[in-house]
A and B are shown apart, each in its own frame.
Chain A
């Protein structure tokens, strides 16, 4: 993410461990709330970051997961991204689910994925991305460069 004129930004690099997700979520929520008085919006972005971090902890390879958050005054948008290394199998799986959940109406996609998730017998939900898409209304992007995966979202005020 290129750092442009912004109200503020943070970058957090950490070894992906489940116990750190809540800490980062709370930090992001507070960081946004300091700049924008909209707590609902801060909660939504923090939720999105939390879901992306859960995916990173589950599927990342290596010890560095990078979270970037940027507040853009001109459009009052919030950009957040999570970058981590992943193996080929995980990347392929991500691309397949991305293709599925980023199409069509966000609510219908969410309902469909909920119905599928409810029938799964493994511990996976595959609801995180579609949940982010529906609950934040953000513009989401997936970028794969070799074994580095970045999911970013830009959320504008409604």
Chain B
């Protein structure tokens, strides 16, 4: 189990696994997110990650989407909502969101970079 005690999620066509990394935590999302309301799945997860990252003093939260073949706009909204939480976190408690992309997947090349503009300096896409 990881530092935040978040269990692996398998729902519909997506699997989400949370793993420990040296300076924080890594969220690995694989499959397709195209359900009607992904927020029911993603909002509680990102809330837990965000609150845990801030209270534990994590420096980095990685989001690995290299195996996420499709993400609908409602799913993008959920990620944007998570990122926007960083706008109200004190500088000393902020963590960096590092999004690990797969450039061969079309939507990732465009949508992921757009996420970096939401809270400048808080999101890197690699």
Listed in ascending order, the chain A residues whose CB lies under 8 Å from chain B are 18, 21-22, 25, 39-41, 43-44, 47, 50-51, 54, 57-58, 107, 110-111, 114-115, 117-120, 123, 125, 127-128, 131, 134-135
Assess whether A120 is in contact with B110, with CB atoms less than 8 Å apart. Answer: no
* B115 located at the interface, meaning its Cβ lies under 8 Å from any Cβ of chain A in the complex: yes
* B17 located at the interface, meaning its Cβ lies under 8 Å from any Cβ of chain A in the complex: no
Contacts of A118 in B (CB 8 A): 77, 80-81, 83-84, 118
The CA of A103 and the CA of B13, in the complex, are separated in Å by 35
Q: Total A-B pairs in contact (CB under 8 Å)? A: 80
Dominant secondary structure of chain B at its interface with chain A: helix
Most central of A21, A119, A135 by chain B CB within 10 Å: A135
CB distance from A43 to the nearest CB of B (A): 4
Contacts A47-B106, A125-B73; A115 near B84 (Cβ below 8 A) = yes
Task: Please give me the 8 A-B residue pairs with the lowest Cβ-Cβ distance, nearest first.
Answer: A43-B106, A127-B73, A125-B77, A118-B84, A117-B77, A118-B81, A118-B80, A114-B80
* B39 located at the interface, meaning its Cβ lies under 8 Å from any Cβ of chain A in the complex: yes
9-residue interface stretch from B20-28, B30-38, B54-62: B30-38
